[in-house]
Amino acid sequence: MERKTVLVSGGAGYIGSHTAVELINAGYDVVIADNLSNSDISGVEGVRAITGVDVPFVNVDCCDKQAFAQLFEQYNFDSVIHFAAYKAVGESVADPMKYYRNNLLSFINVVDLMRQYGRHNIVFSSSATVYGEADTLPVTEATERKAATSAYGNTKQMCEDILRDASGAYEQINGIALRYFNPIGAHPSALIGELPRGVPQNLVPYITQTAAGVRECLSIFGDDYPTEDGSCLRDYIDIVDLAKAHLAAINRMTEGRCNAKYEVFNVGTGRAVSVFELVKTFEKVNNLKLNYKVAPRRQGDVVAVWADTALANKELGWQAERSLEDTLRSAWEWEKRVRNIK
Ligand code: NAD
Ligand code: WQD
């Protein structure tokens, strides 16, 4: 069978690098494009080390259409997975134009160039953030999207709409938007993982950095929410499981099994986990005590969100498999490797 190539934009980053590994292991050729604005070459080197394949890497800003077009000249891929975006929610509120410029322009260029070069399949990295504070839980793909409360969230909604409209209007273009819940953990090899710059905004990297002594104390944002233990509920999805959902989406598209020109899937576990439960599980499986305290609620946090995964299970033939315990072990193994802790 002819080998197929997939362009992975933002593939040096956290989710992109894990996805590149799964694609390569499944027999795809992969090209990674990234401007390393929130990553470094170690992500690409990790992919190469795990797979034993010398994956091509192109340092390019997807917002630079001319430079980005060179890639389309050079490589004959029919599918792209577009990860390249900024993702810090708070920063996007403080500097919205930075987010609109990067996240929208890079995606518009992807769609335009796919059309221009006669290519077909686009998978877009969307987010559970599009649901906001949902009226009913768990959320299905049909659950109403609430007005975004950050420029970041708004870019996710806008790119979903761009993909819906483009795949509706242009015969050649097919789109799948994957709405990720809370991706956590690292590859079992500990050769790739999450590399946040500065103070981590997300829970698990804050936990692992606290355990490593890089941060003094984890703040648990709120213990007075209307949940069983008072902390927020989320759907934490293992990073390798999440990567495999991308493989399933690419297989579906390249094998012509889509039910519509544009499809949306929730990518989560279907299980709600509280902040306290996550912290306790981390302590237990890694046999350590974490320094933590209860702090005031964080502005903008939703109380609870978790996925109804029935559609992804049925249509993508995919489901989350790795246990929370194994995922939290992998997160700590990765942090230890990064910090040189034995
Ligand atoms: P990441 O920052 O690790 O990866 C994004 C990569 O894109 C980085 O390597 C960065 O250098 C690159 N990039 C950014 N702008 C670029 C540009 N203009 N040109 C080329 N490269 C560019 O983030 P991640 O966690 O791997 O997220 C990947 C995607 O998934 C993003 O679109 C993000 O919004 C989305 N997402 C992430 C989460 C999460 O919690 N991590 C949840 C839902 C959705
Ligand atoms: C999880 C829980 C916090 C840090 C964000 C984005 C979302 C998506 C995923 C991209 C919450 C609590 C956190 C800490 C804490 N990203 N927490 N102490 O907010 O669910 O989602 O990342 O699309 O758009 O908003 O994830 O990891 O920040 O928080 O108590 O130091 O942990 O309050 O309940 P969140 P998170």
Considering every ligand atom shown, identify the ligand nearest to the alpha carbon of residue 106 and give its number.
1
Q: How far is the CA of 213 from the centre of ligand 1 (A)?
A: 26
What sign does the CA torsion over 228, 230, 234, 238 have? negative
CA distance 266 to 282: 25
Tokens found for residue 268: 């989560």
Mutation probe of ligand 1 site: the residue of 9, 15, 18 with most atoms within 8 A of C-beta? 15
Other CB atoms closer than 10 Å to residue 147's CB: what's the count?
8
Q: Residue 313: CB within 6 Å of ligand 1?
A: no
Q: Residue 275: CB within 6 Å of ligand 2?
A: yes
CA distance 60 to 71: 9
CA distance 67 to 254: 26
CA distance 170 to 76: 20
CA distance 150 to 301: 11
Measure the CA angle with vertex 118, ends 112 and 121; round to 5°.
75
- Please give the positions annotated as active site: 152
**φ/ψ (deg, to 5) at 199:** -75, 125
Burial class from Cβ neighbours inside 10 Å (0-12, 13-18, 19+) for residue 43 reads: buried
What sign does the CA torsion over 67, 97, 80, 88 have? positive
Model pTM? 0.99
Considering every ligand atom shown, identify the ligand nearest to the alpha carbon of residue 202 and give its number.
2
Mutation probe of ligand 1 site: the residue of 18, 83, 334 with most atoms within 8 A of C-beta? 83
H, E, C per residue of 31-50: EEEECCCCCCCHHHHHHHHH
The pLDDT score that the predictor gives to residue 1 is 66
The pLDDT score that the predictor gives to residue 2 is 80
Tokens found for residue 123: 């998978």
CA distance 137 to 45: 40
Q: Residue 29: CB within 6 Å of ligand 2?
A: no
Return the ligand 1 atom nearest residue 152 CA.
34
Residue 1 makes CB contacts below 8 A (sequence gap 6+) with: none
Return the ligand 1 atom nearest residue 36 CA.
11
Measure the CA angle with vertex 256, ends 10 and 172; round to 5°.
70
Q: Residue 219: CB within 6 Å of ligand 2?
A: yes
Q: How far is the CA of 177 from the centre of ligand 1 (A)?
A: 15
Which residue lies with its CA nearest to atom 18 of ligand 2?
A: 220
**Distance of CA 175 to CAs 22, 172, 232, Å?**
20, 10, 32
Other CB atoms closer than 10 Å to residue 28's CB: what's the count?
20
Q: How far is the CA of 338 from the centre of ligand 2 (A)?
A: 22
Question: What angle separates helix 14-25 from helix 239-254, to the nearest 10 degrees?
Answer: 60
Q: pLDDT tens, 12-32?
A: 999 999 999 999 999 999 999
Measure the CA angle with vertex 101, ends 99 and 105; round to 5°.
120
CA distance 212 to 197: 16
Q: How far is the CA of 84 from the centre of ligand 1 (A)?
A: 5
Q: Which residues of the chain have pLDDT under 70?
A: 1
Q: How far is the CA of 87 from the centre of ligand 1 (A)?
A: 6
DSSP conformational letter for 317: -
Which residue lies with its CA nearest to atom 39 of ligand 1?
A: 183
**Distance of CA 319 to CAs 44, 182, 308, 312, Å?**
26, 15, 11, 7
